[in-house]
Structure 1
Amino acid sequence: MEKKFVANKAVIVNQQGKILMLRDAGHADHQNLKGELSFPGGRMDHDETPYEALAREIEEETGLTAEHLTIGRPFHVRRWGVGGDVVNEPIIGIFYLCFLKGDPEIRLSQEHNEIAWIDPKQPLPAELQTDSMKLLMASFQDQTGSVQVADEEIKAREGFGLIQLFTGNGKGKTTAALGEVMRVVGAGKRAAVIFFDKGGEHYMERAVLEKLGVPWFAFGRDRIDPVTGRFDFTITDEDRRLGVEGLAKAKALVESDIYDLLVLDEVNSSTDLGILRTEDVLVLLDTKPDRTELVLTGRNAPQAFLDRAHLVTEMRLRKHYFYSGVKAREGLDY
């Protein structure tokens, strides 16, 4: 019979905005965790409320009590397993945002032997560069509004050559990218646009690009049925073939080294849908000329793209007229 556990974890933030983590000493049944950093907290007993369990665990592991910190609402949920056994002994981890009051002394229990303060505005240390930790930090940034610095290597850099990424389930990703194109052209620079998974003649922005002298290239089937007007969501071998062609064109444009800005529209979603392979897109990102600016758009951006981008903006859907029955409008939505 499957055993299930609930673990309540505290993401404790001090007055400098740094997050408390504890290094496991590897005692008793924690030998496989020796040396690993984790958040204070642990399993909830059957007769405890989540907040009671979390307060108990925090006090046991750090000596901090209610007079030392404020326990807020949960903001992230993750699943892992006892000894790594996610199938038979899963643990549901619930993470709570907590804030220290003042600068109280932290007294470690025998479970841990070191305190570490992690700055969420800086890239994660190498030992914390895991997908699960990156997802948690993304949730933390959503809750707190903190912004991570892009990369110390680009500090005080000027000119083109960075990677911008627009993602999320809200409207405005392609629109934002096209706004960058307008600025580039206005500055007397050269831009080009690759449209992935956008075949057909339904996109009014292309007429404007032609008037601006911006070359564009579309790779994808026309997904809108000319008779019914319905959208075809299937992913076919033809989609993948056209995606490969589009990426080859993007590489050719980048290697020509004549464009200051290249927009890869819907490259995020095309990769997420399996039209493009993540590793193939990464080759382009990692080998582009130092002076070429790239703009990536589309929802569900792969983590590897987010890691490489110097600017990440997530469009969040809060309200949309589509759900009131308003259909996509020419000149506004396409």
Structure 2
Amino acid sequence: MLSILVPIYNYNVYPLVEELHKQCTECRINFEILCQDDASKSILNAINENVNTLSNCSFTALEENLAHRGNRNSLAEQAQYDFLLFIDGDSIIIHPDYIKKYIVTLKDFDVIYGGRLHPEKYPSENKKLRWKYGKFIEDKSAQDRNKKPYQSLLFNNTVIKKERFDQVKFDKDKKKYGHDDTQLSYELSLLKAKVNHIENPVQHGYIDTNLDYLNKTKESLENLILLYQEQKIDINFVRLLQLYHFLNKTAATLIISKIYGIFEKSLLKNLTGNNPNLILFNLFRVGYLCSIKQKI
């Protein structure tokens, strides 16, 4: 029936696993919950060892880092059931019938995405940027997500048929952070996989600081350009790539990169401050995207 795969890095996963185990047991299904820490060497792994006391559950701490994509692939290879539920270790289950909602729709689709929510209030002043972008841009209803089913896929809180995942997998050759979900979703679109979006969100537990999120955004944009250059993703699949392609074709990228260089410090000051502006964040993304050619 269901293999629940939980990639971890330096996080206490036991409360999440305990809730998932409870719901799976109540649903009376065949299940397993596989947790794998990606060589963080964290002291929290002493707590995570308690996962091994729960039936059909296991926790493993890797000695060598596989990176996020490799860790997910490794978990999928170990899975014994036909359906894989990918859920990140920092997720918070907010509905008592979370597992049940997936079970009733499993056999009708290749991929089912339940969505994600951010907390109602930001956790701290220095985490406002990630919280704002998540809450006001990323958090979408199932109705909105189903309008662009492939582009709206994130592989946290997602069920996929094992046979489908084995056809695509995460690209282990990519080492930079970001757009692994985009690449996998694009490959699923080429296979015409049947995708459904439902209202079954988890809450995003760990929120990056403003500075950490900016650094991740930069790396993610660099990886997007690499995917574009290596023709591993179609321009029309990502709106940001369409914009980049247009600007590149009109030779505007050089002008924008110079303007970005002038205003970069002012943008960073706002985005790392206590009241980051999402419009300025989008300008930062476009400016950095246009300057990448000189950086990679």
* TM-score between the two structures when normalised by the length of structure 2: 0.26
Higher percent of residues as helix: 2
